[in-house]
Amino acid sequence: MSSPTIKTWTSENPPSIDIWMSIDILGVKSGESQELKTPITSSTLFSHPKALSESQTIYTLHSPSLLVSPSSPSSPSPTSLLGYAKTGLKDLWFYDPSNLKSSLKQYPSTLALLDIYVDVQRKGYGKILMDHVYESNPNSVEGRKMVYDRPSRMLPGFLKKNYGLEGGEKQNNGFMLFKEFFD
């Protein structure tokens, strides 16, 4: 059996309308699973100037069995979408608990996982997706130098199980990070 494929989308290389429709559907599911009032990933939000200024990227994971779109053979089929991860660069302030001065420090252009959703659980698709995110962003040091925007209750356990990341600390701004972030 073939492995799922991953496509990378940016504002300069956006997905087709078919793929956006699938991302929008999964974005709604992601919002519901996190008990949010509105989705945080959608075609509308991705084209917003804020998303452009944050250099947002969406990684989509596609099933190998449904890879070709009937309307556009060079594009993945929208029905093949298994999940997505969205990253961006954020200018953030963090409190470093090891700093004796206990003050906030600014961290410009910090790589952040802004949203992740996998429609089919317990098949390893989330790990495949996050492996690709980390490989595409080598400065993340397998997630240790990355921050996680308002993580769901499931994400810390997923990161611990698959990447040995534990002890994530949620900051006042809602971002979770690990102590290695400050190293």
The residue among 102 and 178 whose pLDDT is bigger is 178
**Is the pLDDT score of 139 beyond 70?**
yes
Helix, strand, coil % over all residues of the chain, rounded to 5: 35, 25, 40
Looking at residue 72, what is its pLDDT?
47
Q: Tokens 């099933």, residue?
A: 63
Number of neighbours of residue 142 by Cβ within 10 angstroms: 19
At 136, is the secondary structure helix, strand, or coil? helix
Q: Tokens 């397998």, residue?
A: 142
Contact between 64 and 79 under an 8 Å Cβ cutoff? The reply is no
Second CATH level (architecture) for the domain 5-182? 3-Layer(aba) Sandwich (3.40)
**pTM of the entire structure?**
0.87
**Is the pLDDT score of 65 beyond 70?**
no
Looking at residue 90, what is its pLDDT?
94
**Stretch (H or E) spanning 117:** strand 104-118
Looking at residue 140, what is its pLDDT?
81
Q: Tokens 């994530």, residue?
A: 168
**Is the pLDDT score of 87 beyond 50?**
yes
pLDDT band at 70 (very low <50, low <70, confident <90, very high): very low
The residue among 173 and 103 whose pLDDT is bigger is 173
- Tokens encoding 118: 């996998």
* Domain range list for the chain: 5-182
- Look at 42-56, 62-76, 119-133 and tell me which has the smallest mean pLDDT: 62-76
**Is the pLDDT score of 3 beyond 90?**
no
**Average pLDDT value over all residues in the chain:** 86
